[in-house]
Homo-oligomer: A and B are copies of this chain.
Amino acid sequence: MSVLADFEATSVPVDQARALRLEIEDFNRSYAAILDEGRVEDWPDCFADGALYRITGRENADANLPVGLVYCEGIGMLRDRALAIARTMMFAPRYLLHQVTNERVLALAADGAISATANYALYETLVDQRTTLLQVGRYWDRFVRIDGTLKLRERHCVYDSLIIDTALIYPV
């Protein structure tokens, strides 16, 4: 098994699921562009106030262990993290590139929250080196709509395997 405990797929009306899927695709592509273009200071704006963000391995996720490699709760922690990363990137420049695919809408909660998932591949290129596949994995997301715009209330980045080659882990 490899679905987070509370991300079971339930029935969503086809037309609604289609419209939400396209909107979530747009969201994920803007999110990826922020990270790939090094605009990490804009990254926290993708999240709702009390949002949870974590990066964890599939074994951990399958065992339903809450903690992982990275764990942020609340927009304050996300902003702190973004700031630390922005500073680091000045000293160790690198190029990132996300390919985000396979978006699926899984469920709609009574409070309007949208559960969704997507697959990602994250490539890193250091100066004058070959491109490395840093990780492949899945996003497990809970979206809410704030002033008409989708924001993440939860994003669990669950990687299949990880090449840990940096002191500071970048957002995924």
Taking Cβ atoms with an 8 Å cutoff, the residues of A that contact B are: 1-3, 17-18, 21-22, 26, 28-30, 32-33, 36-38, 58, 95, 97-104, 117, 119, 121, 123, 125, 129-131, 133, 135-138, 160-161, 163
CB of A124 to closest CB in B, whole Å? 8
The residue of chain B having its C-beta at the shortest distance from the C-beta of A129 within the complex is: B161
**19 A-B pairs (CB sep. < 8 Å):** A1-B37, A2-B36, A2-B37, A3-B37, A21-B26, A28-B102, A29-B102, A32-B119, A33-B104, A33-B117, A58-B125, A95-B161, A99-B102, A99-B119, A100-B102, A121-B121, A123-B136, A130-B161, A131-B136
Contacts of A133 in B (CB 8 A): 131, 133
Query: Are B104 and A101 in contact, with the CB atoms below 8 A?
Result: no
The residue of chain B having its C-beta at the shortest distance from the C-beta of A28 within the complex is: B102
State the majority secondary structure of interface residues on A: mixed
CB of A58 to closest CB in B, whole Å? 6
Contacts of A29 in B (CB 8 A): 102-104
Known: A29-B104, A102-B100. A58 touches B161 (CB 8 A): no
Most buried by B among A36, A103, A121: A121
Most buried by B among A97, A129, A133: A97
Query: Are B97 and A100 in contact, with the CB atoms below 8 A?
Result: no
Query: Are B119 and A98 in contact, with the CB atoms below 8 A?
Result: yes
- Tell which of B22, B95, B135 touches A160, judged by Cβ atoms closer than 8 Å: B95
Most buried by B among A28, A99, A117: A99
The residue of chain B having its C-beta at the shortest distance from the C-beta of A121 within the complex is: B99
Bound-state CA distance A29–B102 (Å) is: 5
